[in-house]
Structures are given as structure tokens and as C-alpha cells.
Structure 1
Amino acid sequence: MPEANTAVMEFLHTRRSRPAKLLQDPAPDREALMPILTAAARTPDHGKLEPWRFIVLEKPALNRLADAVEQCGAETGRTEEDIAKARQQFLDSPLCVAVIEVQKPSEKIPAIEQTYSAGAVCLSLLNAALASGWGANWLSGWPSHDCAFCQKTLGLADNERVAGFIHIGTASAIPPERPRPDLDSITTWLDR
């Protein structure tokens, strides 16, 4: 029988994202963030392409993005509610790591596998931040899907897109547990 890492399994069974609106200072400094980024970069990566990278957004950059959301939202006809919600994501955050999917040409590795790897980095980063004692939340929203916004504000290339914004800080409160999936309804066992 394999040797279980019970502490990790307990963490995974009880992990809970902290709503971004409940995050506050302090946030991890560069020294505290590096082990979290290192853990996230250990994500499965078929072909060792590293089809992702990180952009660490500190408070001045987050304020700049919030202002850019307001301008972009108005220019693209977003509702005031959509603009306010997207803007608040950046205003409330003490620190954010944008995980950038970087599609790389490969005869061997399909684009979808590169997308899955970028998503796995987001979850690994989220879990590493939580395991390090920080509050963290993975968000996206319309700004992350607006190519012109991302190219202008984050300097993304044509082969790049935001896989997720991972907000990290100190949780001001711990939300109550939420309902989890019913495993019997989502699991199929095949024995032949």
C-alpha cells in the first residue's frame, strides 16, 4: 500500500478559497511569493513547453487596471454594473498574480493541452497561496477575455491570454462552507 501524505489530503479536503472582496493587506512580499510561484510552476506540462507565465500585479498596477477597466468598459458598451464589478476586483485586491497562457507552436502538444496546463497552474497557485496561510481567490471576468484590454494593460502578445487572476492577501473573514458536488451523481465506474 502506498504511503499517504495525510496532511496534504486533509488540506485538499478542507481547502476553501477566500472571496477576493474579503482580502486585505498585508499581502505576500516578493520573498514570500517566490515559494508560492515555485510550487505553481511544478504543474503538469506535457512536452515541457511552459505554456504559461506570471505577471505580479502590485497595488499601483491594480489601481491602473481598475481605471483601464472603467475606460474599456465604457468604450465597449458594458453596463455600469459589469464595469463596477470588474473594477472592484482590482481595487479590492492587495496583490494579484495574472497567470498568462502562452500558446507555443508544437507538432506534438495540442493547443488544448497547453490551455489545460495553464488552468492547472491557476489551481496550483491558488492552493499554494492557501497552504502558505494566505487568503486567495481565482477570478477572471470580462476584462480577462478582452484581447485589446489585455494587450494594452498587460502587454500580452497575440499568442497570449489571461488564464486567471489569482488575488492574494490576508483574509478578513472566513466564509462558511458551501455545498460540494455529490460524487455519486458525477462519478461513473467502468469495470469492463
Structure 2
Amino acid sequence: MTFNDRSSLLGYLQTRRSGKPRDMVAPGPDDAEIDAMIAIAARTPDHGKLAPWRFVVVPADRRQAFAALLRQAQAAENPGVTEAQLEASDRFANEGEALIVVLSTPVDSHIPRWEQELSAGAATMNLLHAAHAMGYVASWLTGWMAYSDTVRDAFGSPAERVAGFVFIGSPGRPLDERPRPDLARIGTRWDG
């Protein structure tokens, strides 16, 4: 069933696809567009109005510092790291035209931590939607660096977690479709 004739939003949601950061090219979003994307991302479900997430923009002139941070963290946390792995971290730090680090920032509250973490994931997805709606392509990645205390501490505090790295740019080539899950397996009806 297609809903394209009823809503361009539904058509977009039916075809939404992340782009690979390594394939992103200029132009990327300017500062005003990034601020608008973050404002849209902040309009996410948030039980208790806690805003348990933060967005840290890594400006273009700080990408080499980010690459150095990744090298330092990788060398400290993995004594057997190879030069090829370090070079992969350098490439990661410099992909895409814009980079936003999303942090899950749960607060002490009667709202369960799990709900706050889900809200951070929803905010990250809304950031991707905002980027796509503005004509860009985006990708949400994690990798070892999302779980590194050294990397986390560079952007936040021990009470926070990196929800992901969102790369944004223009598509350098057509986006590939990937296999999607079987709807009969993931969408069932409860029969009580």
C-alpha cells in the first residue's frame, strides 16, 4: 500500500534512507541550518519535559582535533591498535560536511532512565529527519568511539553517553536501498 498521493511526508518516510558519510560532498548545512535542525530534533517525545539529550556541533575547523582525540583514545584503550585502525579513525573524524555528536543526558527524576534514553534516540532520529527535510543526507553512526570514556568525556561527563555521531552533507551519489525486515516477522497482532 502506498500513501504518496495523500502526503509528501508519508512518501518521504516510505523511502527515507541514510547516506554513507564517506560519500557525502559539499555543500553541507551552514550554522543557521544546523541550529534549525537541532531545534527540530528537540521537538521529540520527552516524558517529563526533561530534555535528556544534548547536541554538540563539531565545527569544520575542529575536525583535526577530533581526529587527534580519536587517535589518543584508541591508542590508550587498545594497546594493540594498528596504523590502519588509526587511519580509519582519522577518516571517520573527517567524513561528511557537518558533524553533530548527540549525547544521552539522563537526569535524576521519577521518569525511568530507559525512557530518557529512548528519548535521546528519538531526538537523534528527528535530527536525521530534519537534515533530510532540508535537502541534505545524514547518517547516524556509533562504533567503538561511542563507547569510549575518553571520547565521551571530551564532549560531556561520566553521567552522559554518546548516543551517536550524526554526519550531514549532500549526497555524492545515489543512495543505496538496503534490505528491510520482513513485516510479518516484526509487525504482529496481539490476540490476548
In 2, Cα distance between the equivalents of 1:175 and 1:31?
A: 26
Q: RMSD in angstroms over aligned alpha carbons?
A: 1.7
1:1-192 map, 5 Å: 6-77=7-78, 79-80=81-82, 81-106=84-109, 108-151=110-153, 153-154=154-155, 156-192=156-192
Gaps of 5+ in 2: none
Unaligned regions of 5+ residues in structure 1, if any? Answer: none
SS of residue matched to 1:48: coil
Q: Shift of residue 63 of structure 1?
A: 1.7
Percent identical pairs in the alignment equals 35
TM-score norm. by structure 2 comes to 0.90
- After the TM superposition, which parts of structure 1 deviate over 6 Å for at least 4 consecutive aligned residues? none
CA contact (8 A) 2:73 2:148 kept: no
Q: Confirm or deny: 8 A CA contact 2:95 2:167 kept in the other structure.
A: no
1:81-121 per-position Cα deviation (integer Å, ceiling 9, x unaligned): 44333331111232111111111000x20111111000111
Specify the SS of the correspondent of 2:111.
coil
Contact persistence 1:103–1:160 (CA under 8 A):
yes
Inter-partner Cα distance in structure 1 for 2:6 and 2:51? 27
Measured after TM superposition, the shift of residue 5 of structure 1 is 6.0
1:134 partner letter: Y
C-alpha deviation, 1:157, in angstroms = 1.5
Count of aligned positions: 186
Residues 150 and 85 of structure 1, relative CA distance in 2, 3 Å threshold: same
* Contact 1:58/1:94, CA 8 A, preserved across alignment: no
